[in-house]
């Protein structure tokens, strides 16, 4: 394979992923997005986020981003959850389950306990007919046209789509809650961002 061919694959992937994110503003349900924003804003407990595989990585990114705007969040490992860590979830919490197909067995196995706990359940999926979607209080459908890999299977564009939507939700929450730079400085004293904030103080 020539360098030109390799570059074409790189360029093609970037184009597909960029287009996937761009299309979200027209394919997302505004009502569902507003419901998620309201649930996170009004949450009196934690926002608990769970996912398996790549969705687990996405869940951890969402947790970090929410913590950065003073919305206490925690990642729940689905495998550990059924061995006692479900004790993390309480009735005032919001639980976000991320599953592209909406049938991830490890997440489905959490449903009975989550129902007993009484936490608000948000499912993020592309499959509205799935069990995780049907059991949720709020369903946020996030679907891309295709993944850029040759098999249309590797979670790449779809992963970025979920991250991008929750980035957008987080920024909207910052405006909705009048989140200040001074608040951010308190919880982010480290790194280059911390130095910048401290110099502005």
pLDDT digits (tens, 9 = 90+) for 106-157: 999 999 999 999 999 999 999 999 999 999 999 999 999 999 999 999 999 9
Q: Is residue 191 part of a domain?
A: no
Q: Is residue 126 part of a domain?
A: yes
User: Percentage of residues in the chain with pLDDT exceeding 70?
Assistant: 94
User: Percentage of residues in the chain with pLDDT exceeding 90?
Assistant: 89
Interacting residues of 52 by C-beta distance below 8 A, sequence separation 6+: 78, 99, 104, 106, 107
pLDDT value of residue 44: 97
* Contact of 54 with 194, CB cutoff 8 Å: no
Q: Is residue 197 part of a domain?
A: no
* Contact of 148 with 156, CB cutoff 8 Å: yes
Q: Is residue 27 part of a domain?
A: yes
Mean confidence (pLDDT) of the chain:
94
Q: Is residue 58 part of a domain?
A: yes
Domain count, the chain: 1
Residue 122, classed as helix, strand or coil, is strand
The rounded distance, in Å, linking the Cα atoms of 56 and 167 is 16
126: domain CATH number is 3.40.50.10490
Q: Is residue 182 part of a domain?
A: no
Q: Which segment of 98-102, 147-151, 192-196 scores lowest on mean pLDDT?
A: 192-196
Predicted model pTM: 0.93
Is residue 180 very low, low, confident or very high in pLDDT (cuts 50, 70, 90)? confident
Structural domain boundaries, residue 47: 3-176
Q: Is residue 183 part of a domain?
A: no
As given in the structure block, the two tokens for residue 99 are 């599953």
Is residue 197's pLDDT more than 60?
no
Q: Is residue 39 part of a domain?
A: yes
């Amino acid at each position: 394979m020539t360098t030109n061919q390799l570059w074409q694959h790189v360029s093609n992937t970037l184009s597909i992923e960029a287009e996937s994110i761009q299309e979200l503003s027209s394919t997302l349900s505004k009502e569902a997005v507003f419901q998620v924003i309201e649930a996170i804003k009004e949450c009196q407990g934690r926002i608990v986020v769970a996912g398996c595989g790549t969705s687990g990585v996405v869940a951890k990114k969402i947790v970090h981003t929410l913590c950065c705007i003073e919305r206490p969040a925690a990642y729940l490992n689905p495998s550990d959850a059924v061995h006692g860590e479900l004790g993390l979830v309480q009735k005032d919490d919001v639980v976000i389950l991320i599953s592209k197909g909406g049938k991830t067995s490890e997440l489905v196995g959490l449903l009975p306990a989550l129902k007993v706990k009484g936490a608000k359940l948000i499912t993020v999926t592309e499959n509205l007919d799935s069990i995780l979607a049907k059991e949720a209080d709020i369903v946020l459908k996030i679907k891309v046209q295709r993944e850029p890999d040759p098999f249309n299977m590797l979670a790449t564009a779809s992963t970025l789509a979920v991250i991008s939507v929750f980035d957008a939700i987080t920024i909207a929450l910052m405006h909705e809650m009048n989140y200040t730079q001074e608040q951010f400085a308190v919880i982010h004293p480290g790194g280059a961002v911390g130095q910048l904030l401290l110099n502005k103080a």
